[in-house]
Copies of this chain bind each other. A is one copy, B any other.
Amino acid sequence: MSKPNAVIGQSGGPTSVINQSLVGVVQAVQQSSHIGKLLGARHGVRGIVNGDFIELNGASQDLLERVAQTPAAALGSTRDKPDAAYCEKIFESFKKNDVRFFFYIGGNDSADTARIVQELAAANKYDLQVFHIPKTIDNDLRVHDHTPGFGSAAKFVASAIMGDDYDNKSLPGIKIDVIMGRHAGFLTAASVLGRKYENDGPHLVYVPEAPVTEEKFLADVDAVYKRLGRCLVAVSEGLSVPEKDKKGHWVTWAEKLAANIERDSHGNLNLAGTGLGDHLANLITTKLTPAGGKKLRVRSDTFGYLQRSFPGLAVSSVDAAEGRMVGKTAVEYSKDEAKREGSIAMQRAQGKYEITTIFTSIKNVARETKDLAPEYISKDGNDITKAFVDYAMPIVGSLPVVGSLSELKK
């Protein structure tokens, strides 16, 4: 009898190390004996349903190592969120191809898809083991200490802010940098990791978990600018106001703006993206008057997709190694028939940075997400604490080496 097959897929927004996990799975399967064909599904669940597979068993180590270093999903990704009928089709495809192992790399929604398919299989007495391999730059999976993809995105953000802060020291003004993360502020919080000298930026940090009014925002910027003659602001695209929607979530500035702009019948702004930065810059220009009536120099940048896909040596080597590791671990776990479904979750030792993994039911991970813990946000709501730096820095690994001539004055 031939050995049963496995499917691997990638899902959701790409990261810089999602291919590390893919390669971890491929290499572990190449070295194991319980799996037959390893079928890579093109564009996630869509490829499974359409039978669009690519056989990965024979991939050379040279190719795999290059793919591992390449950002974004090498198999292609998807935004499809399967309903019951879609899950049924996935299950049919698995039966047809004698697939008994399903490795799915993705965020919390992807995890839930995998879980539902496993339930279908169980109900039909079809032997299927399902493994959720975590990835998300948002770092918002429950149970997981952190997720592969976050470390590299955080390193990109911290590095970008460092560079931009030196730029701002060089030509002083007010600068707004808009960072990814609609609901969770982990990535925006990473903006503080590169601070080294007194008065280094970012001087103000706003995460979705700490809502801020227009008045408070302007007063904060004004105070920093009066003190330093410049101000670097890191703001999450999910910047929120102290007002809750029907679901109990903070309403975002982007949502408020969208409502206003719809009333103005002017709909060509991408408000969650560049529009927010432009809006904040405009707000400062029109509402703040500096001492002496000098015109304020205000600029904004929205870091955009580069945060999740910038390749090369800017990637966190810790993150890359962990991405690989969780892929390999998933294949290890799959040798144990008792493991029917679960997510490979990294856990951190007390007191030092040592990572182990646990296998936790997908139910503990799917649907609901995790917020930035309150102890990571300063009391004023406009800065990030040392506790967060201690949490995040080992995941980022290292940051660019810099120096300032201010050291000469010492």
Query: Which residues of chain A have a CB within 8 Å of any CB of chain B?
Result: 10, 13-14, 16, 40, 54-56, 58-59, 63-79, 159-160, 162-164, 166-167, 169-171, 175, 266, 268-270, 273-275, 277-279, 281-282, 299-306, 308-314, 399-405, 407-409
Contact = CB atoms under 8 A, between A and B. Distances in A.
A393 to B, nearest CB: 15
Contact of A67 (B70, B171, B405): B405
Contact of A311 (B69, B73, B162, B269): B162
26 contacts: A14-B170, A14-B171, A54-B408, A55-B408, A72-B163, A72-B167, A72-B169, A77-B171, A78-B171, A159-B312, A160-B310, A163-B311, A268-B278, A268-B279, A269-B278, A274-B275, A274-B278, A274-B300, A299-B305, A301-B302, A301-B306, A302-B304, A306-B306, A310-B314, A313-B400, A314-B314
A269 B40 CA distance: 44
A273 B300 CA distance: 9
Contacts of A76: 169-171
Contacts of A310: 159-160, 163, 314
Given A55-B408, A301-B304, 16 more contacts: A13-B171, A14-B167, A14-B171, A63-B403, A70-B402, A74-B170, A159-B310, A159-B311, A163-B309, A163-B310, A269-B278, A270-B281, A273-B300, A274-B275, A301-B305, A311-B400
A314 B403 CA distance: 17
A163 B302 contact: no
Contact of A71 (B67, B70, B163, B278): B163
B312 A405 contact: no
A178 B400 CA distance: 26
Contacts of A304: 301-302
A254 B108 CA distance: 41
A278 to B, nearest CB: 6
B277 A401 contact: no
Given A14-B171, A67-B404, A77-B171, A399 B166 contact: no
A218 to B, nearest CB: 16
B302 A274 contact: yes
A404 B309 contact: no
B66 A403 contact: yes
A159 B399 CA distance: 18
A223 to B, nearest CB: 23
Nearest to A42: B405
Nearest to A312: B400
A121 B274 CA distance: 49
Contact of A63 (B59, B73, B175, B407): B407
Given A306-B163, A400-B312, A74 B405 contact: yes
4 tightest CB-CB pairs across the interface, nearest first?
Answer: A66-B403, A312-B400, A301-B304, A313-B313
A40 B170 CA distance: 14
A324 B282 CA distance: 39
A404 B68 CA distance: 10
B303 A306 contact: yes
Contacts of A67: 402-405
Contacts of A10: 170
